[in-house]
Structure formats: C-alpha cells, structure tokens
Amino acid sequence: MSRLGKQPVTIPAGVTITCDGGLLKVTGPKGTLEKPVRADVNIVIEGNSVVLTPNETVNAPALWGTYAAHVRNMIKGVTEGFTKILEIEGVGYRAEVKGNQIVLSMGYSHPVPLEIPAGINVLVEKSVVTLSGIDKELLGQFAANVRKVRKPEPYKGKGIRYRGEFIIRKQGKKAA
C-alpha cells in the first residue's frame, strides 16, 4: 500500500487537469505538461482533487505512488516551477550560453557544447549556472548531463557540483 497514493492530490486555483486516453495533461499559469499514463493506475478527477487507485495487476502497487508523485510534481511545476543550481569550481573552468547551447570549458583540449532542451532556461553568472523549468524530470536529467562533463574530483574539489553538495575530500600523497 502506498502512503503517497492513498492521499488525494489537491488541485490549486488556476490549474486544470485532464486525463483522456492514457494521457495526463496539467495546465497552469507557467505552461502545460503532458505524461502518458499506464492502465495499471486509475486517475479520477473529482472537483478540486485527483484520486489515484491501483488496478489488480502485478505492477499496480509499484506504480500507484509513482504516479501520485508525478501528478504532484506536474502541479508544482506549472504553478511554481523548479530550479537547479550548479557551481563550477576550478581555475579556468567556465560556462557560457551561445544561442540554444551551453558551452563548457572544463580543462579539456576542446570546449564541450550541450544542447539546451526546450522548456529549460539557463542563466550563467561567473561560476554559477542556474537551470530552471517546469518539467522536473527534464530539468534533473539536463542538470545531471551538465554535471557529467566534469564531476567533482576528491583531491582538490574541482569540477561541476550541485549547490549544497558535499564532496568527501581525500588526503593525497604524503611526503616521506
């Protein structure tokens, strides 16, 4: 039994939710999000709440709470939006936005361009990259792709990290 799935999801004012033919659509002041829904979970919209119930399939208990979390994230996305902040640390490491690409100079022999997905806004100020958007999954995946270009290393801490991420530092070589 899912604790998240049992609780009905309240719909705030200004947000409309429809579920037709296996496609969940959430529209709010910041935009519209769509997500395909499997037949393992029934989604019923009653007034200003969404109630999710599992079917009698094998995967239904696992997907019940997952879809409840997806609905909550979609509602939060179209009302408030999501933000991820990445910090670049290292001498000569920098990022800049050129058109619909973010170009990262991370100490390689070449700059690394990454295509910015539609719906994601990128703001670069010195060594801080701010990513924002309404789709939590897309935003998190793009932030992980940017971080993957140069993960923080444990000796000097150079690389790209999330704001607030703690890197366990290693001591390095000892002099004899």
CATH topology of 3-79 equal to that of 82-162? yes
For β-strands 49-54 and 82-89, DSSP reports them as unpaired
Domain residue ranges in the chain: 3-79, 82-162
| Neighbouring C-beta atoms of residue 49, cutoff 10 Å | 13
User: Given this structure, which CATH class describes domain 82-162?
Assistant: alpha beta
- DSSP string of 119-169? TEEEEEETTEEEEEES-HHHHHHHHHHHHHTSPPPTTT--EEEETT---PP
Whole-prediction pTM: 0.91
CB of 57 within 8 A of CB of 64?
no
| Neighbouring C-beta atoms of residue 164, cutoff 10 Å | 7
In CATH terms, the superfamily for domain 3-79 is Ribosomal protein L6 (3.90.930.12)
Buried b or exposed e, range 109-142, using 16+ CB within 10 angstroms: eeeeebebeeebebebeeeebebebbbbebbeeb
Angle made by CA atoms 10, 16, 18, in degrees to the nearest 5:
100
Q: What is the pLDDT along the chain (176 residues), one digit of tens a residue?
A: 678 888 999 999 999 999 998 899 999 999 999 999 999 999 999 989 999 999 989 999 889 999 999 999 999 999 999 999 999 999 999 999 999 999 999 999 999 999 999 999 999 999 999 999 999 999 999 999 999 999 999 999 999 999 999 999 998 888 76
Look at the block and give the residue holding tokens 């719909």: 11
